[in-house]
Amino acid sequence: MSRHEGTPVAPARTDDAPSRSAHVRRVLPIPATRAWSLLTDVRNHARWVPLTSIDAPPAMVVGDSFTAVSLPQLGRLGLVDTMVLERFDAPHDAPGQAGSPHAPAGVARYVKTGPVLRGWAEVRVRPLGPTHCEVTWVERITLRGVPGLLTDAVSRPLTRAMLHHVLAAVAREIGEPRNDQPSQA
């Protein structure tokens, strides 16, 4: 179980320490299955992450990879972020558990394998009943060849800011009122 929520998740790895990763959580006024489809179709991320393009297959399965390129204006190729889908377990309501802290969450985990960026990203979607869900996005970004502990102090707040922006953009896209702010986990 994650220390930050009551949702069962995969066993923690040594690089998953909560203090090393950015966590952002937001309740969305849509069913968990809709949020899951929206968030795990990584091609949608290009709409939410400024100055980013995504090259991904339309229906990813575990083992598939995709490439995101951010800030191409700064260089010929921009910042290349290649990721492999490591886990893809869709959310569902267990009988009698919808909306409870024990309702099973969907978990999609992506491992960064690019030439510069390393780390991982995890999107969790937990049903809160038929019309709402909780999205938790956890991400750790490190640099290839540099110990993660050296980059965490800079990358964690930048990643957290990016995740706040992404979930706010998702909320605007689905028509959520602007007064609901994402929370830090």
Q: Which residue has the higher pLDDT, 57 or 101?
A: 57
Mean pLDDT (the chain) is 84
Q: Residue 44, exposed/middle/buried by CB under 10 A (0-12, 13-18, 19+)?
A: middle
CA angle 16-124-141, nearest 5°? Answer: 40
Whether the predicted pLDDT of 14 surpasses 50: no
Task: Kindly indicate the confidence band of residue 50, based on its pLDDT and cuts at 50, 70 and 90.
Answer: confident
pLDDT at residue number 25: 98
Task: Kindly indicate the confidence band of residue 24, based on its pLDDT and cuts at 50, 70 and 90.
Answer: very high
Dump pLDDT digits (tens) for 25-39: 999 999 999 999 999
Q: How far is CA 24 from the centre of its chain?
A: 9
What percent of the chain is predicted at pLDDT more than 70? 76
pLDDT at residue number 93: 61
CATH number 3.30.70 given to 17-41+84-184: no
Q: pTM here?
A: 0.81
What percent of the chain is predicted at pLDDT more than 90? 62
For the chain, domain boundaries: 17-41+84-184
Task: Kindly indicate the confidence band of residue 164, based on its pLDDT and cuts at 50, 70 and 90.
Answer: very high
H helical segments located in the chain: 32-40, 45-48, 148-173
Whether the predicted pLDDT of 59 surpasses 80: yes
Q: Which residue has the higher pLDDT, 7 or 73?
A: 73
